[in-house]
Amino acid sequence: MLLNILRFEVKLGLKKMSFWVYCLIFSSIAFLIVNILGGVIVGMSGVMDNTNWNSPSIIAGFQTFFTIVGTIVCSAIFGNAAYRDFETNMHPLFFTKPIKPSSYYLGRFGGALILNILIQVTVSLALLIGFLMPYLDQEGIGPFRLDAYIQPFMVFVIPNLFFIGSIIFALAILTRRMLPTYLGTIILFFGYTIAGSLISDIDTRWLAALIDPFGDNAVSDATRYWTPAEKNTLLLPVNKWLLLNRIIWISMGVLFLFIGTKRFDFSHVVGKTKTKQDLDKVVNEPSNIVPVAYKPIFDRSTLLSQFKAKVILEIRRAFLDPYFKGILFTAICFLIMNQWAGDSVNGIKILPVTYRVLGSLTGSFDLFMLILIIFYSGQIIWKERELKADSILDAHPVPNWIPMLSKLIALILIPGIMLFVLMLVGLGIQTWHGFYDYDIHLYVKRLFLLDWTGFILLCVLAFTVQTIVNNKYLGHFIIILYFLFGMFKGMLGFNHTLYFYGSGSGATYSDMNGFSPYVSKVLWYKLYWGSCAVLFAFLSNLFWKRGLVRDIRSRIQQAKIRLSPSIGYGILTFSILFLGSGGYIFYNTNILNDFYPPKHWEKQSADFEKAYKKYEGKPQPKITSVNCSVDLFPKEARLEFSGTYELKNKHDVPIDTIYTAQKDWMYNEYDWGRPSELVFYDSTLGWKMYAFDPPIQPGDEFTLEFSGERKRKGFRNSGVDLLVVENGTMIQSSSLFPSFGYNGGRELSQKLVRKKYDLEERKKLPDHDDIKGNQNALLGDDADWVNFEAVMSTDIDQIAMAPGYLQKEWQEEGRRYFHYKMDDQIFNFFTFVSARYQVLKEEHNGISLEIYHHPKHTYNLETMMDAMKKSIDYYGSIYGPYPYRQCRILEFPRYASFAQSFPNTIPFSEAIGFIMDVDPDDPENLDMPFWVTAHEMGHQWWPHQVSGGSVKGANFMSEGLSEYSAISLLARERGDKQLRKFLKYELDKYLDGRSFDSKEPPIISTEGNEQYIVYNKAGHTLYAMSDIIGTDRFNRALGKFIDRYRYKYDPYPNIGQFISTIREETPEDLQYLITDTFEKITLYENKAKEAIAFENPDGTYTVDLKIEAKKVYSDSLGVQTTAELADWLEIGVFGEDIKDEEKEEVPIYIEKVFITDSISTFEIKLDKKPFKAGIDPLYKFLDRDSKDNLIKVSFNEPLSNNK
């Protein structure tokens, strides 16, 4: 019987059009993606230089992605299988047949499951066939392997379909409604989203791996530190967490199936009969029982009351529904849980300032809203038809727009209410954290003016699709397709905002600058898409289903009849508005500003390189002094600048041509202080060549005077020009001032992209000891150290700043002027800042410490001030005194989130440091403001005193040594726990980063863009090195190095010299460590094997510890070879301590040990009771699996206690 039902279900499904539509669309999308990756549609889009596009992990990723997107199809097919008989009132017929309920249940379920599996099979086939296509760019395609498709299909696709289906099916068949199934789907997505938030924190990754229903995050966790080589060759590892994940979710499916079959029976659900109480009620006779004709009146006021009544009805129906309350409740739980999950990432906590809370709440909520709107649009429109109430209601003397508009209003209110709830949750979270600086205005602007209007657009679209398509599930599906298009439109080559519905209204909020730069852009786009939505609404009105109309032809016919003059005028008006605003947008994006198709810059870079790389390295004069003025007009988003370079030919050959990447609009004035002629100008790529006659002789000095203007012109397709903003301008000199020679910074870097343009693999920076490279500065060959002087002006209420000491400040014509001058030599790299600041000033050992900040951002000023003082003292004691009389931190808006060090001047984004939540009592809570400030302060020595040249390893000396400085200061000031947390964080970032890099270099060959090395690996290994060699020795080496090379140039000091300085201070038996750290990629695979302890009669403890140690060298792709072990490692034991009534682990024994064997045993005597023991307890060595470093100590009864 079961099989018959199953077969019937499958047959029925195969006969349906929708099944084939799903198959066709899904497999075409899959095929399309493959073709996009393979470079067929719009050229290369893959970003992976050394991971194949058809590597097992990527195939698995796609398959999982399609089961996630396929949830919508699941709910249609499973829901239909369960609900169909109730919808069509067939159930009494089936339920009276001699079928066992369980056969009916399982047969239907099984049939739907098979249909879903078939759809996913077509997806996998499309991927498989797609990747076999010979016309794909074979560079990125690895060998075909069938198991790469089958394994994830078995591990992810089928189990996912099974449990998604069993949940949806059970909900639909037991409640005999469809809405609960949507709720079920939403909860599944919540699991996915929350897992996504949890995966970023090292300590909660295991949880993320478990609670993701689709298994995606479990895979991310398992393959997190995989190198490209591993990604290309290995199938997905089924590790502990992944296995547990699968077990949990498959059991969940089995559970639902079990409950479903148990609870499901064929009983007829009868309406609840009246209770006795009700019957006893005294019923009065009505006031009038004679049938009298009541003359209806049809006028405007009737229309109004009809409309009002319908709106109230629709709203009550939508919102008083218990399921809506369920959804609201789920949403609140989700918001709170997600907030909790993302609250602290790796111990970094950020204050719940309104924009942050809003960001994290809304970010994860979008998907939820999307599902809600999709489902509710179908629900609201189809309600009457599903109840068959339409046959009465359609005959009422009510114009179409009344039911249509009331339904639309109810739909629109759903996201509105959700956002309102979100606002309450946000306020609740802020209050709960004891943070009372609520920005109610920001809640209103962000949630209702920006977000809600966006959701309204979506509502209207979904509504219109549902009206016109006239098939609920197909309607849902079309909206999903629209979203998929949104995701992939860039890849398909569509990137103009004018043709993606609802786009163009993104706006970044900054506490300093509000929404100001975005306001006009957002308004215009809202007007544009708003008019489009109104046109859609007219369309729904014309095609509104009323009565019995089936085929498209008669619906069009009907629409023509309905097209009354007033609707016609409405359509005309809004079409004009739509086209008009669209025209204005086009004027802004394509005429005032330049619009570029997706690959424009890629192509420009390639062309530029091909045309002008031949001039690379041609001797150019160097800047020796910069004297400039920058006048900011924040309210007009405009600036004027002018300057004079003093230049010198520092080469020993004459220079007859100066090359410069430049376009005409950049400078109004550009005058060389000696005879010259513009002999070449390429206006497309921007390249000028000036010939000098007589040539510039070695040692010749001359000047260049330049001036220019920048002004925001309307808005661009991709965002808004943020060079000058109303409050909080931060400009780097490189975006204004001239530069000379060919600059390789513009070159394409990805191997495959370069190949597409027939470019050779990019030449890297020269090796660290390259003579030519060491003649040029780290920041380019335009200058070595320069003198700097600037006059800045700005609005009367702002403070403008540039590096240097303030010489004079004055007012003139309602503007404020500042004159800065640097008396030391500095890099040819400056910053210009202006904002309405509050200033905190302190004096420390004759150095003026100043923080220029947004008046509201006072949370961490003391910490930052403290970090400046401590840095000046501590670094001063190691590296020599702080060289300036002043140190300034300048806050700038969060359009960028970094801090950057200039001599005596540190621009610092409002997004970091200023709003961090630091709990001094919680050692696990990373003190970010302190750390970032300490890092930037480190830069005042590295590289602002000792800088490398344009060679490998130079950037490491700047960033890596600043990072080391910050960590060692942090360890000194904040203790071991903070240090451990930090090392773990750096280790994770490093391992994570290397898994994405196509070619990992050892430190000595780093170019500087390997952030995971120059920051994270540097911080980790340099600290570990200092710990092993001895902090004093290591610091002494750094001090020696800085003394030798301070302000040296031509040649600049290089990392080779740095390493040899360290070697000088390192004892012989640790020299291997220097080699391992700087010249090789060294990893350890350390593991605690066994720890057995017993208590001695005297109350002390003895632990027998067995550990395994292994050292490997990795090549640039991550292929590992085992290295011989003769290393100093560290073993340790943790005990338990009670602090503040909470158990905490404290190290009670840490010892450096020399290890040569892979298995070693130790006997450790302790005073305190051990809890955990193992190798490398403080994460000082690079180890991909540091979780197994420690194990719990097991206790043996001591012999003496035996009876």
Residues found near another protein in the complex (CB under 8 A): 271-274, 278, 283, 285-298, 301-302, 305-306, 309-310, 313, 317, 384, 387-389, 391-399, 546-551, 554, 557-558, 561
Q: Which of 273, 1121 has the CB closer to another protein?
A: 273
Q: Report the candidate in 163, 185, 171 with the shortest Cα–Cα distance to residue 370.
A: 185
CB of 290 to another protein, least distance (A): 7
- Tally of CB atoms within 10 A around 1053: 24
Q: Which two tokens stand for residue 540?
A: 């729904």
Neighbours of 273 (CB within 10 A): 8
For another protein, the closer CB: 270 or 1199: 270
Which CB sits closer to another protein, 445 or 546? Answer: 546
Nearest distance in Å: CB 464, another protein: 23
What is the torsional sign of CA 708, 710, 711, 716? positive
Phi, psi values for residue 1148, rounded to 5°: -115, -10
Tell me the backbone φ, ψ of residue 896, rounded to 5 degrees: -130, 150
CB 316 to another protein: min, Å: 9
Q: Is 157 exposed, middle or buried (0-12, 13-18, 19+ CB in 10 A)?
A: buried
| Contact partners, residue 237, CB within 8 Å, separation at least 6 | 222, 223
Q: Closer to another protein at the Cβ: 234 or 559?
A: 559
Q: Which amino acid is at 621?
A: P
DSSP label at 321?
A: S
Look up residue 765 and give its DSSP letter: P
Closer CB to another protein, 17 or 387, in the complex: 387
Exposure string for 772-784, b = 16+ CB within 10 A, e = fewer: ebbbbbbbbbbbb
**Residues composing the chain:** 1203
Query: Between 134 and 547, whose beta carbon lies closer to another protein?
Result: 547
Least distance between another protein and beta carbon 573 (Å): 23
Helical axes 401-432 vs 453-469, angle rounded to 10°: 140
Output 399 or 1198, the one with its CB closest to another protein.
Answer: 399
Partners of 75 in the beta sheet?
Answer: none
Nearest to 623 by CA among 783, 826, 821, 830: 783
Closest CB to another protein among 294 and 436? 294
Nearer to another protein, 292 or 1199 (CB): 292
CB of 384 to another protein, least distance (A): 8
Q: How far is the CB of 283 from another protein (least distance, A)?
A: 5
- Is it true that the peptide bond before 352 is cis, omega within 30 degrees of 0? no
Please name the helix (run of DSSP H) or strand (run of DSSP E) that holds residue 1168, with its range, or none.
none
- Give the residues across from 1127 on adjacent strands: 1155
- Mark out the alpha helices in 199-235 (DSSP H runs): 205-211, 216-222, 228-233
Three-state DSSP class for residue 955: helix
Closest CB 391 distance from another protein, rounded Å: 4
CA–CA separation, 379 and 410 (whole Å): 11
**Minimal distance, residue 326 CB to another protein, in Å:** 16
Evaluate whether 516 touches 720 at the Cβ level (below 8 Å): no
The nearest distance, CB 398 to another protein, in angstroms, is: 5
Task: Name the phi and psi angles at 627, rounded to 5.
Answer: -125, 115
CA distances from 657 to 61, 689, 744, 773, 1112 (A): 54, 7, 19, 21, 52
Q: Of 798, 111, 641, which Cα lies nearest the Cα of 809?
A: 798
Q: At closest approach, how far in Å is the CB of 267 from another protein?
A: 17
At its nearest, how many Å lie between another protein and the CB of residue 546?
7
d(CA 863, CA 869): 10
User: From the CB of 22, what's the least distance to another protein, in Å?
Assistant: 25
**Cβ distance to another protein smaller for residue 84 or 815:** 84
CB of 558 to another protein, least distance (A): 7
Q: How far is the CB of 82 from another protein (least distance, A)?
A: 20
- Which amino acid is it at 162? F
If the CB atoms of residues 554 and 1201 are measured against another protein, the closer one turns out to be: 554
Instruction: Decide whether 17 or 292 has the Cβ nearer to another protein.
Output: 292
Using the minimum distance from each CB to another protein, give the nearer residue, 254 or 309: 309
Closest CB to another protein among residues 293, 1138: 293
Which one, 4 or 391, has the nearer CB to another protein? Answer: 391
- Least Å distance, CB 373 to another protein, is 23
Find the shortest distance in angstroms from Cβ 487 to another protein.
37
When the beta carbons of 333 and 552 are compared against another protein, the nearer one is 552
Phi-psi region for residue 913, left (φ > 0), alpha (ψ -120 to 50) or beta?
Answer: left
Amino acid (one-letter) located at 413:
L
What DSSP assignment string belongs to 25-71?
HHHHHHHHHHHHHTTSSSS-----SSS-TT-HHHHHHHHHHHHHHTH
- Given the complex with another protein, which of 1 and 313 has the nearer CB atom? 313
Q: Cβ 547 to another protein, closest distance in Å?
A: 3
SS3 for 1187?
helix
Q: Would you report the helix, strand and coil content of the chain in percent, each value rounded to 5? A: 50, 20, 30
CB 1164 within 8 A of CB 1149: yes
Instruction: Round to whole Å and give the CA distance between 2 and 737.
Output: 79
504 Cα distance to chain centroid: 19
- How far is residue 1101's CA from residue 1169's CA, in Å, rounded to a whole number? 6
